[in-house]
Amino acid sequence: MLYYLFQHIHEKWHWPGTGVFKYISFRASASAVLSLLTTVVLGKKLIRFFHERQLKEEIRMLGLTGQQEKENTPTMGGVAMITAIVVSTLLFARLTNTYIVLLLTATLWMGAIGFADDYIKVFKHNKKGLAGKFKVFGQVCLGLIVGLVLYFHEDVVVRELEVPVTVSEQSGAPTVVFKDVKSTKTNVPFFKNNELDYGRLIPGLGARYTWLVYVLVVTFVITAVSNATNLTDGLDGLTAGTSAIVGATLAILAYLSSNVIFSQYLKIIYIPDLGELVIFCTAFVGTCVGFLWYNAYPAQIFMGDTGSLTIGGLIAVLAIMIRKELLIPLLCGIFLIENLSVIIQVLYFKYTQRKYGMGKRVFKMAPIHHHYQKMGLHESKIVTRFWIVGILLAIFTLTTLKLR
């Protein structure tokens, strides 16, 4: 909204300083700061609200050190995070941008699913919360919406170099001409000719069914990443800090993909109008950092499913829009490891129980962050080390743009 207001003021009255709103760098910085401050302010109010009404989620006791201290900690801090993201994006982004509209829809959609789960746990005192099948159904519905919009909307295109390149008659210099095309291509890391077309993923599948494959891939990615993030939310500051690192990396990738010079140099897909995603990404990073104000050890509030499900869904949608979803296993390696640790633990326990009559475990406890707690590591040390690994994975993710 402020973008349009100051654009009008600049064009009509030429007030000094109003022109800065046309720059993505300024709006992205302002969005991050506002999102951070909004989260801090609303977080304090939420903590007071829940303490005054003695509302909290009942924690399942796992025999871990420090769990008794967490018993009276309020949850649903994700409400502050979602509010901060939406407000910052509405104020600083171009609201006619299809990607921004779709991201705001995804934020509110996943937020509603997480809020319903937390509401049942906190206000209805039901430990199970929203049934898993309803969560998955909501995630699948969002995947269908995102996939169909990205495939069919006329504004969602990639810009390709026209071949052959024409030569100017006057200067003799080559004239670069681009064309906008609908595409289901994505970038594949570690390869030179690194574009994978989902339309050719299944041999013999006609062009009329390409949309079906694309939508299924989008739905799978959104559902998988959202649930993986939810599993990671088990230690103070772990999900918020890791997500901030991922969000900052996605902001860089979005900027590079929206810039004709960088995209050509790095040989990645050039996507027009994608630069606005940087504003959303910085709002995302700002709210994650702001939430750490209260969520760092010892946590004064948890984000709950309202925050974790939303964060996972947004990371997936952003990666898909930037056409870097194949980098998710690397960039979101922390979430992947947490998810795999649970799968390995369950499968191995069932296998040994069936074969030997007594179930055995690979880890002392899953997800894997609880395994390290059982080993005697302090919670804050585990979180800090996971952050360090997350930073290394983010750096390696960016280096894949040249490692081919």
Task: Give the structural domain span for 219.
Answer: 2-328
Answer with the residue of higher pLDDT: 55 or 122. 122
Does the pLDDT at position 4 exceed 80?
no
Q: Per-residue pLDDT tens for 373-392?
A: 999 999 999 999 999 999 99
Lowest-pLDDT choice from 200-204, 241-245, 259-263, 344-348: 200-204
Mean pLDDT of all residues in 345-373? 91
Q: Are 230 and 308 in contact (CB under 8 A)?
A: yes
Local confidence band at 179 (pLDDT 50, 70, 90 cut-offs): confident
pTM: 0.92
Distance CA 366, CA 14 (A): 60
Task: Kindly state whether residue 380 falls inside one of the protein's structural domains.
Answer: no
Task: Kindly state whether residue 145 falls inside one of the protein's structural domains.
Answer: yes
Does the pLDDT at position 66 exceed 80?
no
Local confidence band at 328 (pLDDT 50, 70, 90 cut-offs): very high
Task: Kindly state whether residue 179 falls inside one of the protein's structural domains.
Answer: yes
Does the pLDDT at position 310 exceed 80?
yes
Does the pLDDT at position 297 exceed 80?
yes
Task: Kindly state whether residue 20 falls inside one of the protein's structural domains.
Answer: yes
Local confidence band at 111 (pLDDT 50, 70, 90 cut-offs): very high
The domain total for the chain is: 1
Answer with the residue of higher pLDDT: 167 or 162. 162
pLDDT recorded at residue 112: 96
pLDDT recorded at residue 9: 75
Residue 203 class from Cβ within 10 Å (0-12 exposed, 13-18 middle, 19+ buried)? exposed
Lowest-pLDDT choice from 121-125, 172-176, 224-228, 296-300: 172-176
4-8, 21-25, 35-39 — which one is most confidently predicted on average? 35-39
Task: Kindly state whether residue 224 falls inside one of the protein's structural domains.
Answer: yes
Local confidence band at 206 (pLDDT 50, 70, 90 cut-offs): low
Mean pLDDT of all residues in 239-245? 96
Task: Kindly state whether residue 206 falls inside one of the protein's structural domains.
Answer: yes
Task: Kindly state whether residue 338 falls inside one of the protein's structural domains.
Answer: no
Mean pLDDT score of the chain, rounded to an integer?
88
pLDDT recorded at residue 65: 60
pLDDT recorded at residue 169: 56
Local confidence band at 62 (pLDDT 50, 70, 90 cut-offs): low
pLDDT recorded at residue 193: 74
Strand partners, 179: 160
pLDDT recorded at residue 7: 72
Local confidence band at 195 (pLDDT 50, 70, 90 cut-offs): confident
Local confidence band at 173 (pLDDT 50, 70, 90 cut-offs): low
Task: Kindly state whether residue 371 falls inside one of the protein's structural domains.
Answer: no
Mean pLDDT of all residues in 313-317? 97
Distance CA 242, CA 232 (A): 10
Answer with the residue of higher pLDDT: 11 or 184. 184
pLDDT recorded at residue 164: 54
Q: Per-residue pLDDT tens for 332-353?
A: 999 999 999 999 999 999 999 9
pLDDT recorded at residue 253: 96
Q: Per-residue pLDDT tens for 69-95?
A: 677 788 899 999 999 999 999 999 999
